[in-house]
Amino acid sequence: MGILHSVNVGRDRDAPYANLGHSGMNKQPVAGRVAVRALGLDGDQVGDTVHHGGVDQAVYVFAREDLDRWAVELGQDIRDGMFAENLTTRGIDVNEAEVGERWRIGTAELEVASVRIPCNDFKSWMGVGGYDNRAWVKRFAATGRPGPYLRVLVEGEVGAGDEIAVVHRPGHGVTVSTMFRALTTETDLLPDLLRVEGLVEQARVTAEKYVAARG
């Protein structure tokens, strides 16, 4: 059974390391119940609204187990929220969730919609935190475990300790890891994405272009 381990939010603030000079990546765990709305969690802000946020990237999720694996590789503890995730989970493999899978957490219902693509701001943020960020984007991508973005189907409230109940699984077999690898390191997987009903537009366009080019 999956459990919501931590709920993390952060305000957009000055950030010299970020391309825009400001960022909302510094997410910190919060206590109590937090409202989940169509564009994200109460108290949370997105700095780069061109490349992040919106209904298809309303809530970002990363597993505590994956943070622990990175902590071993980097030789340092990694706190909840350090990877800019809104929800830190435990006991569920979020990267093996299918795109379109629906979860009930607290009184909210959420749907796996997209994947996080690592960027230079993420690399810089890790450096600010004192971690070895050499070739960070490449290293992060190589794991194929990016964590999903969720869209909010039913607004509600969540809190640490809530059960994560899978209430719908589409059955097409296209997982978070599959989608990420298709968009980054294994483009031959792009046609598989077209099996996903309601696929996010950017991924759909990318997959369709690939298929058209292949004839």
Distance separating the N- and C-terminal Cα atoms of the chain:
44
Which of the four pLDDT bands, split at 50, 70 and 90, describes residue 47? Answer: very low
Question: Which uninterrupted H or E stretch holds 36?
Answer: strand 34-37
Beta bridge partners, 90, equal: 3
Average of per-residue pLDDT values in the chain: 93
What's the pTM value of the predicted model, to 2 decimals? 0.94
Average pLDDT value for residue range 206-215: 94
- Predicted pLDDT at 24: 74
- Predicted pLDDT at 11: 82
